Structure 1
């Protein structure tokens, strides 16, 4: 066993018995590289990554390859889920060096001072696909560094300057709100009207873009945004991206039709998608409600840890094959179902047609259930019931298969995204049991990840290595989750927690000189860059979420300092937003909030009457932020303590920005005003 054996990362532990002399990222490895003047081979991946496994089997488990690696390099293995700071820096370095996007596994060659001079992703063990063999590459790169040190030094200087420009923008002014129209036009241009989603294959859900569409539709009554959102949610729910049997979404689709996914399931995108589907289900869409219910069932069944928090991911592979756990053959399915269930399932899922994945069938809706109902001359409700029974039978049978590996580390930021999703879903569909799941997860994150005034990114029971420090995205996502819980059910202690998180953002991450928030804290270990990241990727940017949350909290508590920090973020990111608005959708929500503060409603009341008032007002305006505070709540801050309850029923205060109107004693009347756009 090498030095990875005690790691908190299951991904690193997967490499603990490699013949490679792996180090985790840390001073021991970096000092050895400096002392011996050896280049560093940095390999970044994660446990659910299919091609990471392939490269491990082909190269890292091979003694001959390991001998070259050990002789010529200091070898460092990094889990990108635990160290997104390193992944972010070196992915951008790959883009600059290779002039194309990176991915995982990320393979980067560094000089002893941590600066990358060559980068790639997967390299095969033998030459193919226009790539050299990994061993040949190892030798050629090491030889080139030894023979051309000055050339590498000049390149490294140029690379550092380029990264500095990327990560430390000069900033400008807050963009005009018209940039939102430009973003919407760009989204509409890239929208796939036939299959839903944006762009071509591979297709990712991009929750930040979907959340913006939901926001813009609710805030401004934009029917076209609603149409693009609903079409995409429909297509993903009908496709193979969604696990038709067990619930939950895979990370992306390899085709434009959402039919065949890359089969890994990640916690981070299932949280936002859960909230979106539940809110659509609350507007009357039955399939969206079912998708939300199936996703929560999957979450409880396969992802929940004993602590109450949720594990990180499920592997794409099982028994050495990608997708094996999820695919079927028609004979097996027919043998498990009744004749009536088979008549519906076979038609809906295309089991009487050709296979769609390596000779087998990955389930997706080939024919809509209502169309099948018409063909069979049965009621749509009967077709839906038969399909539900078929799902239950297939799920029971699938439970007997060899499961994909579960990465059971607990990530603070990813749990926060799921807490937000559960809170939104509980609020939309009136599910107190889902709220309890979210509250349990928040309690676990606070217990396991928060120590001595600091948040730590990752926790795993029994790990002996130091917990990695949390980054901006973790803090911002956790603040968003806390506000989502407060909107669902008030807890004064949680409000205090929100203020603590906002204080940590301001103290440890805020750029007091230039505006915006750095990705790493002030006392984070020194890396080759301290990034400031504004663009969304698979997750919404921490700066975008921080700006949104600080505006919401600033209005709730009448705290100008929070609002000024959000304004500084929008100004520092301004030129980047104007240049590429579609890449900054989370910041565009904050920009909209800055110019036109959405309604904020403070409710006081008790029991079911308070809950009913919250539902009534929330249904009237989907963009309104409603905080239901019980009459007996204590320890309220000054901005809320003055909003005193009344005897005999709920009372509501409508606030826009820092201005609150006189109280209204009939929440239904206020709801009518909001629904009318007043």
Structure 2
């Protein structure tokens, strides 16, 4: 196995062993909080980042504005649109964007390529920039010996996937910044993640790495190139699996879900919630699996087991919402916590987290009808609407972890925007300061002391990351006031601190619009518009939950979808672009863009949107099949395969921080099959079966890596999906109430179909796509009155029509006849 550690010590041929690659180990990729959490040999311990590094670095994008004003040098990245590439536009490194100009230069000079991949809100990407890419000695080595290429992994996930997969397969892990050396024909030679500029703790510094790569290129080029070619060949074979059969064996889906739930249960943290140890990442697909499993257990009359699983989910979501990973003042969630108690986060906020987390809090609210979960969902969505949505409805990508402590500060610090001193709280809140400090564990010495992992280098000494450690009702009693009054005061205090925080230098906003992440977030806005209508009358909403009418959320989702259709979809070719910033990106849409957007559009339709969204989803599914489906071997590739510079087409299955495109596609196909009829429905199901057959071994042997795919497999195995057919005049009060009732209960194996028989366009859609639905709409039309009628259909039988929300909810709660 190639190891970067060999760069430190040896120039003999043994330094570059070229034995065949092992079977790739595709592990969860995490952005390292500590600089020496690298993709190196497992024999090396993981080091914590040294204090000296912290005090020198943390100079993120915002500080580059002043640098660029005094720095006349501008490189090729200045012509790019990506915020990440623009952050490096004034480095003295002679950067190229990914493309033929760079490749041709490497061939002409006969030198290797240094490929650096990151994203604009990546803390350790900023660190490596300041330490190395603004270091004259490093700059000279890079410019003299290499062609250097910068890639935004959010703009070109296809390029990132190739070389991240290589690093993960060889070293067992990866992260960003990703640093990989390539031959001029783009084969990987060796790679890692973050490198400090100089040798430390017995590990190679970046200057040492550059010198050793140069030496190896000059003296052992043939071996390096052969090894890189072999690596790509073996990875291509491993990641392009084909199905040995047309469908998965009967019973595999139940086995996979049971296995995944058992493994997650074994890793459950009963003290702080969540699955696994620190650092703790929210992984919504795990919650989705556990909720799905709970529903299965209930259906099998195993209520005790179901309750035990549900309690794990409830406690985990409460701990997350009460922890510092949740922004109590502005709403939304940070990327992950470095400790086991969800307290001190890595402070960046990513859009793919927000949509998924909002959805799982919605799911739990639909099960428990507890306002804690609905209000948490609301504060996520209100944060997105307030801070992350553009003027035309577009939803942005991320906010940085780093920011300046004050205007004009020469350097940025991680979390500066979010942390507070006890004195600041006293001055801002006055008479209510003590109540607020009790509630959020605020202390003069700082509160990052709950775990030795929280702040090992005293970065946050004297600072407080807000965390709720006690139940509000207990604290309200301690302060001698009713709970409603107590929560109202807390909300007022949060608003005051939020207003003060607005005066601080804000973290950098990555205003790139990514189709896939918009799709996940559109799904959450759509579902919230109906599920949150079930909140009890009189539910209190305290800042940052603004307590809007849930129907406003549907409007946010539809505006985002309309932006994507106008700016990132070609009506002629029916193809998507991947992202938008000052115009569509050069990169085409990838599998996740199609799959996640289809998911969002299906939810827009089912939650009250026009059949136009459903028509678009069907069109996108056709294009997805055309571009990505392996029609012979089954499964979807992650790229269209039309760019020769992208060396791997991967059939990805891992459900990580984002679900895999294949998992989501199976669910989409199951849902589409329940909306249309005849041969088209059968075709959708057949494709879903074939996809799952590709990943049979993964489902059987490593179910915990694919929790959403486990759910997808079971959804496909359900003999008859429940259909709720609602007929009525859209936007009438009765219709809206009935539609909310159709979505009120948690039922993952349910499709909601709504038809307005007075709308000619809708009737035409159903006559063309599902004549049975069109006939049901005609038969149950109430003429000109406002009455809405619902039928629940399953096992080829429909219930008698009902016209009240309570009757519909009662119908949906019945177990199907065996």
Superposition TM-score tier, normalisation by shorter sequence: over 0.9
| Structure 2 equivalent of residue 555 of structure 1 | 674
Quick check: 1:294 aligned with 2:416?
no
**Whole-Å separation in 1 of the counterparts to 2:809 and 2:505:** 52
Deviation at 1:674, TM superposition (A): 2.5
**Whole-Å separation in 2 of the counterparts to 1:133 and 1:490:** 55
**Whole-Å separation in 2 of the counterparts to 1:577 and 1:136:** 43
**Whole-Å separation in 2 of the counterparts to 1:396 and 1:112:** 52
Unaligned runs of 5+ in 1: none
User: Compared with structure 1, are the counterparts of its residues 385 and 142 closer, same or farther at alpha carbon in structure 2 (3 Å cutoff)?
Assistant: same
What are the Cα deviations for residues 319-346 of structure 1, in whole angstroms up to 9, with x where unaligned? Answer: 110000000001111111142x223211
Quick check: 1:603 aligned with 2:726?
yes
Equivalent residue runs for 1:177-188 within 5 Å: 177-188=254-265
Quick check: 1:322 aligned with 2:322?
no
How well do the aligned residues superpose, as a CA RMSD in angstroms?
Answer: 1.9
User: Paired residue for 1:125, among 197, 201, 224?
Assistant: 197
Equivalent residue runs for 1:227-238 within 5 Å: 227-238=311-322
**Whole-Å separation in 2 of the counterparts to 1:651 and 1:434:** 25
| Structure 1 equivalent of residue 248 of structure 2 | 174
**Whole-Å separation in 2 of the counterparts to 1:378 and 1:544:** 49
User: Paired residue for 1:306, among 383, 391, 394?
Assistant: 391
**Whole-Å separation in 1 of the counterparts to 2:775 and 2:374:** 39
| Structure 2 equivalent of residue 479 of structure 1 | 598
Equivalent residue runs for 1:625-644 within 5 Å: 625-633=751-759, 634=761, 635-638=764-767, 639=770, 640-644=773-777
Unaligned runs of 5+ in 2: 1-73, 299-305, 405-411, 449-454, 534-549
**Whole-Å separation in 1 of the counterparts to 2:746 and 2:140:** 64
User: Paired residue for 2:703, among 581, 585, 593?
Assistant: 581
Deviation at 1:290, TM superposition (A): 2.4
What are the Cα deviations for residues 457-516 of structure 1, in whole angstroms up to 9, with x where unaligned? Answer: 11112x6x9531111011000000000101111312111101111111111111100111
Deviation at 1:615, TM superposition (A): 2.3
Deviation at 1:438, TM superposition (A): 0.8
Q: Is the CA contact 2:119–2:154 (under 8 Å) kept in the aligned structure 1? A: yes
Task: State the secondary structure of the residue aligned to 1:307.
Answer: coil
| Structure 2 equivalent of residue 416 of structure 1 | 519
**Whole-Å separation in 2 of the counterparts to 1:199 and 1:542:** 24
Deviation at 1:435, TM superposition (A): 1.1
**Whole-Å separation in 2 of the counterparts to 1:275 and 1:578:** 27
**Whole-Å separation in 2 of the counterparts to 1:169 and 1:664:** 47
Equivalent residue runs for 1:251-650 within 5 Å: 251-282=335-366, 283-319=368-404, 320-339=412-431, 341-352=432-443, 354-355=445-446, 356=448, 358-359=460-461, 360-430=463-533, 431-451=550-570, 452-461=573-582, 466-558=585-677, 559-596=681-718, 597-606=720-729, 607-623=732-748, 624-633=750-759, 634=761, 635-638=764-767, 639=770, 640-644=773-777, 645-647=780-782, 649-650=787-788
Quick check: 1:155 aligned with 2:155?
no
Deviation at 1:91, TM superposition (A): 1.0
Task: Using structure 1 for the length normalisation, give the TM-score.
Answer: 0.96
User: Compared with structure 1, are the counterparts of its residues 110 and 656 closer, same or farther at alpha carbon in structure 2 (3 Å cutoff)?
Assistant: farther
What are the Cα deviations for residues 610-638 of structure 1, in whole angstroms up to 9, with x where unaligned? Answer: 22222223334533222222232323233
Q: Is the CA contact 1:469–1:524 (under 8 Å) kept in the aligned structure 2? A: no
Quick check: 1:212 aligned with 2:347?
no
Deviation at 1:414, TM superposition (A): 0.9
Deviation at 1:386, TM superposition (A): 1.4
Q: Is the CA contact 1:535–1:583 (under 8 Å) kept in the aligned structure 2? A: yes
**Whole-Å separation in 2 of the counterparts to 1:497 and 1:294:** 30
User: Paired residue for 2:327, among 239, 243, 257?
Assistant: 243
Count residues with an aligned counterpart. Answer: 673
Range 392-401 or range 298-307, more displaced? 298-307
